[in-house]
Each structure stands twice: as C-alpha cells, then as structure tokens.
Amino acid sequence: MTTKLLTALLIGTSILGTTGMALADDVTLNIESWRGDDLSIWKDKLIPAFEAKNPGIKVVFAPSAPTEYDAALGAKLAAGSAGDLITCRPFDKSLELFKKGNLADISSLSGMENFSPVAKAAWQTDDGKSSFCVPMASVIHGFIYNKDAFDKLGLKVPTTRDEFFAVLDKIKADGTYIPMAMGTKDLWEAATMGYQNIGPNYWKGEDGRAALIKGEQKLTDKDWVAPYEELAKWKPYLGDGFEAQTYPDSQNLFTLGRAAIYPAGSWEIGLFNTQAQFKMGAFPPPVEKAGDTCYISDHTDIGMGLNAASKHSEEAKKFLSWVASPDFATIYANALPGFFSLNSSPVKMEDPLAQEFVSWRGKCKSTIRSTYQILSRGTPNLENETWVESANVINGTDTPEAAAKKLQTGLDSWYKPAK
Amino acid sequence: MASEPMAAATRPKRPIRWHIAVFLAPAVLVYTAFMILPLAGTLQLSLFRNVEQHQVFVGLGNFRTLFGDPNWSVNFWNALRNNVWFFIIHMLVQNPIGILLAALLSSPRLRFAAFYRTAIFVPTILSFVIVGFAWKLILSPLWGVAPHLMDLVGLKSLFTPWLGKEEYALTALSLVSVWQFVGIPMMLIYAALLSIPDEVIEAAECDGITGLSQFWKIKLPLILPSIGIISILTFVGNFNAFDLIYTAQGALAGPNYSTDILGTFLYRAFFGFQLQVGDPNMGAAIATIMFLIILAGVCVYLFLVQTRLRRYQF
C-alpha cells in the first residue's frame, strides 16, 4: 500500500516537475542531418542568427554519419525519438518518409513561394501537389583545375572535348602532374563525378532525362552510351593504381598539387579552399563543338522537412520558414561555398570558385542526375548499378555497350514507363 | 541424497524448488530476450511482405523471389560463392598457419614465446574498422607501404592495386582477415598441445618417435578435436562475416560485387544503400537462409564429424 502511494506521489511529482520545467524552459528543436561537416556552421552562424530573431526557441543540430544516416533516421522515426526537423535526401528516400507519414505536408508553409517548381520537384509527390521539404541547396558538377599547373604548362582552359583531351595529353606528356585525380575504388566517384558530370551534354539535360523516364529513350541509345565511351577514354589519364584509389585519396592528390584536373562536385570547394596551396579554377563539362549549348548537372541535393510527430511543430514551422528565407540562403551559401541556394532571390557570394560554378547557371541549361527521380525505385537499383558499371567501364572490365545493356536490362525488369 | 530425510519428514507438503527456476532465470531470460526472440522475429519477418504500407503474409514468397528472380538470385549465388571462397582461404591458410604457430610456440627451445604469442594474438582484439582502414592504407597504391617495400626488394612489378581488382580483391581481403584472426586457432591449438600429458610424449620418445613424426603420429591425433572445433568456429564466423568487407570496400562490395558476401548482401537488402530503399522482409529472408546454411554446417559437424572423432582420456 505504502509503495503504491509512494509510486503515485513520485509519478505526480515527476509530471508536475516536467511541466514546470517546460514552462520555464525554451522549446528545443532538434535537427537530424548527415552533414557532420557543417556542425560548426550551424552552431556558430545559422542557429545564433535564428535564435536572435526568435527568442524562446533553441535549436540543436545533431548530425550522424552520412552512410548511417538513412538507417539511423528510419530507426529513430520508428521509435519516435527522431528530431523535430529532418534533413531531407532528394527524391524517393524522402518521398517514402512522407508516404509513411513521417514527414508533414508543408505545401502551404510561408516561404515556399520563394522556390521555383524545379527546385521543389525533389521533395514533392509525383503529381507535384504536396511538398514536404524546404529546398536548401544544390550542387553543381564540373571540373576543378590547378591554375598554377595550367600556367606552368601553358595550358588553356578547354571548352570542347577535343581541347579537353589535348590538355590531358599535354599534362601526361609533361609528366609533372597526374592529369586527372579520380579513383574507382569507391565506385560512386566514377558515376557521380564521371557519368553524371559529363553525361548531360550528351543526353541534352532535362530533355533526355524526361525522355528516359517516359520510356522514349533507352540507356542503350547513342546519347546514353556515349558518356561511357568518353569515360573509357579517361583511364590512361588517371593515376597509378586508380583502381584502389579512394575518394579521400583523390581529394588529397589534387589538394597536394600532384594532380592537375579534378572531376568535381561543387561541394568540394569549401575543403579545397582550406587545403590547397595553389590557385584553382573551374570549367564546366566540355561540349562537342564550340558554341554548342552546354548542360550542367545542378543537382538538388539537400532540403529540410518537419517530423510529423514533432511536439513543437509550430516552432519548427517557424524555423522552416526562416530556412526558406533569403536571410538563410545568404548565410548558408557563403558559409558553405559550393552548396548553392535554390532560393529565387539571387544570393551574393564572396568565394570566386563558387561564383565561377554558379555563373554556369546563366549560360548552360541545368538538369539533375538522371538516375535520381523515379528510376531508382526498384530492384536492381539503377543508381547503385550505375556506380558499379561506371567503375567497370573505367577499369576496362566492361565495354560501354555492355554496361549500358546491363543497366537497361535491369531497369526494364521492373520499370514500366506510363504510356 | 542429502535431502532425503527432510523430504520424508515433510512429505505431505513438498516444497516447490524455487531455486532451480531462480538460478536458471537470468540465463534463460537474457538468452530468450536477445537471441531466441530476435531469431523468431526474423523468421517471421521473412514470411511477410510490405504492400501499401501493410505487412501481408506471403508464405515463402520472399524465398521464391530470392531464388527465382534473377535480379536477386544472381547476387545471392555470387555472394554465396564468394563466401565459400572466403571460407576456403581461411581453412587452407588460417588454420594450418595457426597449427604451425602453435606447434612452434609449444616447442620448449623457443625463446620469447610469450612475446610472440601476444604479438600474434593482438590483431584479434583490434576493431574491424582499424584493421580494414590500416590495410587499406598499407595496400594503397598512392601512400601505402606495400608498393614501397616491394620496390626495395625489386618486386615492384608484382604490385597491383589488389583491393581495386576484381580478380584479387576477395582473396586479398580474406588474407587480411586471416592475418587478423590467426591468433584464435593458434591459442586453441596451443592450449590443446599443452594439455597433452608428458607421459604420452615420454612413452613416444621411448619408442623412438621424435621430432616431426612425433607431431604427426602423437600430437596431431590428440589435437584433432580442437581442430574440429576451430573449423566449425571458422565456418560460423565466415558465413556471418560482414564488418571487414564493409569497412574496406563499402556496402556495394566492389569492384563489380567481387567481394560481396552474404553479410554485405544482407546489409544492402535490409537497410538499403544510397537511393536503394531497404526491404526488411527480403533482408530477413536472406538472414534466414544464412541461418539455415550455418545450421546445416553445424549439424554436419555435430552428427557426422564429431561423433567419429576419437577422444582420449588421460
């Protein structure tokens, strides 16, 4: 009897105690993210800027490792212990969370009007009716080069493919530098920095991508095999033992000044600026003939959504509206050069390399990675297979035609385009 | 029985022997909660499929997909084949070397035996992450010590980026795993060798059996049961392996799935990878097959091998 009374008392006090605390304390919002690299930017720049304007709301940025993020987030959401704000991967990963009811519908959130339909497409239902994440940033593919090396060898920045290979030949003949820093060990470099980087020029960006989704084009078509043919030609220009060269190896090779050209994503800018001791420049993927329309991969990569089970959804929505504002875009794009804001209002950036990348938006047509929307929903997974096959093509263990055929056969086995 | 007189005295009210349950409880509860329930849960999960956000019972449907759909079966057989090769390398390299090291260590003339024993055993207690990362660095064609060392002895031409070549990657990783775990068979055999009574050895010496023939004719038969245990431990360990491949090659087990073993295949299916969304039901089906493979292996050992091993009582 006494124990029961005691328990009741204890429970009573604990409830009273916590409510008391909640009243006295600020609301704390937790952000789930895979961007551990950005911890200091959130802590020192973004969160203080928000908290200064919104007293009473505290924000905690709690990232986990990129490779574990999706599994960890899934487990936390299932257990109900996930944070209030969830950093969104583009397309199906987030769409699945929305369909499961883990992400709230934020179509009517104030601030969403700041984004173009293309920017929002990565976090919408297939019919485009509901949005569930605020677009934060995109990354642009291209090539970063060592300006000092180019000056020393008297090289001109290539704009066409012939010039590109001529430059590579010259660097190789000189022998001081490894022409191109890329490895195939981690597979994704070959696909993301290789195939998805140079591909849009062949398949004409959005046109080709949309045609592929509609089923009007096949991966075995000339426009989709040709990038593989070019990749196969890269092999002699890569460093010794590139088959076992990992992504950090490639980054180090370039920033140590041992390689001249780095097939890049703009997310490298921040790291390269702090590590490289030489001047850097960038050029978009070369086109076939001078004057051809150029296409770049301007991939919507990161967004932020609201955990549907959040206890503080009002405060979280306030935060998301702020994420959608030009204020956030300015701080974010400058703190993280290479992650370009998707906000319609232009953002002024200080970093010259980032400016170079973003200037391509003006002269080239933007597209996103071909495998991301819809086409990677089934088994075998087209994106994963593209990684494997791109590496195979560069390693020379598969011909471009064989690789394309494998991908198309895999896709055909589950994907039936709507007629 | 000591309790006989007391039991006789209180026959009408026989006490319930609580202590048995109490003493068994911790082990039974812990084992049930952490081993039996999850196992049963996995088996159950493998019989369902997620249709429109609902779990639907499909019987053996997932297994039919796993073996019948080429998108799954090709990967499955590839993983199984690689896993068998992984196991063969361990049996052919790790265990003989372990026995050899144990035989050398138990030689009374060897100096610094304790040092060697510890040094060889240390990698076993290292984390997979450290081992995977360290060997990735050692074998790196860019900064690794392997190409440099081979250059010193004029064998640079034999160096290739092993971890990046389809034909070598799995063998290279198997040997890394052998390097890490050779301490375990060594320790077990070493203990078995030490437990051979001196009288047996002396009797052998009286009969003129010494040196190598003593090892083959006297010691080896006496440590056969230990070798059997090691084989089955290797078997279970290899078919459950995952960590080393994952840390060294990533979840896609490249190049071109050449290092994909059942563990990494299960991981990709269960948790998904990059854009691939995890499918816990198919993952559970693969886990069930792994369980059955290991169960079959252990049964073969228990019923066919162990019963035929002769044991010697001293």
Pair A407, A272 in one domain: yes
Pair A331, A257 in one domain: no
CA atoms within 13 Å, Cβ hemisphere of A327: 15
How many domains in chain A?
Answer: 2
* Alpha carbon of B78: minimum distance to chain A alpha carbons (Å): 15
Pair A119, A208 in one domain: no
Residue B34's pLDDT band, with cuts at 50, 70 and 90, is: very high
- Report whether pLDDT(B10) > 70: no
CA distance B281 to A388: 25
pLDDT for position B53: 74
For A307, which DSSP code?
A: B
Tokens linked to B249: 């090659």
CB within 8 Å: B163 and A91: no
CA distance B203 to B195: 16
CA atoms within 13 Å, Cβ hemisphere of A156: 8
CA distance A101 to A240: 49
Pair A31, A161 in one domain: no
Cross-chain CB nearest to B254 (options A96, A253, A388): A388
Q: Is residue A357 part of a domain?
A: no
Q: Is residue A40 part of a domain?
A: yes
The pLDDT tens digits of the residues spanning B169-201 come to: 999 999 999 999 999 999 999 999 999 998 999
Pair A74, A169 in one domain: no
Residue B66's pLDDT band, with cuts at 50, 70 and 90, is: very high
Q: Is residue A359 part of a domain?
A: no
pLDDT for position A12: 47
pLDDT for position B314: 59
The pLDDT tens digits of the residues spanning B120-148 come to: 999 999 998 999 999 999 999 888 888 88
CA distance A145 to A204: 25
Chain B contact for A102 (CB, 8 A cutoff): no
pLDDT for position B312: 66
Backbone angles phi, psi at B260, to 5 degrees: -70, 120
The pLDDT tens digits of the residues spanning A351-405 come to: 899 999 989 988 898 888 999 888 888 888 899 999 999 999 999 999 999 999 9
Residue B83's pLDDT band, with cuts at 50, 70 and 90, is: very high
Pair A294, A307 in one domain: no
In a mutational test of the B interface, the residue from A93, A98, A185, A187 whose CB has the highest number of chain B CBs within 10 Å is A185
CA distance A294 to A312: 46
Cβ atoms of residues A212 and A206 within 8 Å = no
pLDDT for position A344: 81
> Bigger pLDDT: A92 or B1?
A92
pLDDT for position A22: 44
Pair A174, A289 in one domain: yes
Specify the residue for token string 């010494």: B210
Backbone angles phi, psi at B5, to 5 degrees: -60, -40
Q: Is residue A358 part of a domain?
A: no
Backbone angles phi, psi at B284, to 5 degrees: -65, -35
Beta strands A259-265 and A295-306: pairing type? unpaired
Q: Is residue A355 part of a domain?
A: no
pLDDT for position A38: 85
pLDDT for position A394: 95
pLDDT for position B15: 84
CA distance A13 to A32: 32
- B139 neighbourhood in chain A, CB within 8 Å: 244
Chain A contact for B158 (CB, 8 A cutoff): no
Pair A333, A382 in one domain: no
Mean pLDDT of B94-102: 94
For A172, which DSSP code?
A: H
> In which region does residue A121 sit, left (phi positive, over 0), alpha (psi from -120 to 50) or beta (all else)?
alpha
pLDDT for position A16: 45
Tokens linked to A187: 């597979």
Backbone angles phi, psi at A339, to 5 degrees: -105, 105
Residues of chain A with pLDDT under 70: 1-25, 418-419
Q: In terms of residue numbers, what domain contains A181?
A: 140-298+366-412
* Alpha carbon of B7: minimum distance to chain A alpha carbons (Å): 37
CA distance A213 to A371: 9
Residue of B nearest to A383 (CA): B275
The structural domains of chain B, ordered by start, are 77-259 (1.10.3720.10)
pLDDT for position B142: 87
CB within 8 Å: A376 and B275: yes
Pair A276, A375 in one domain: yes
CA-CA-CA-CA dihedral for B178, B183, B189, B191, to nearest 10: -170
- A91 neighbourhood in chain B, CB within 8 Å: 275
Q: Write the CATH number for A31.
A: 3.40.190.10
Is this complex scored with an ipTM above 0.85? no
The pLDDT tens digits of the residues spanning A347-360 come to: 888 889 999 998 99
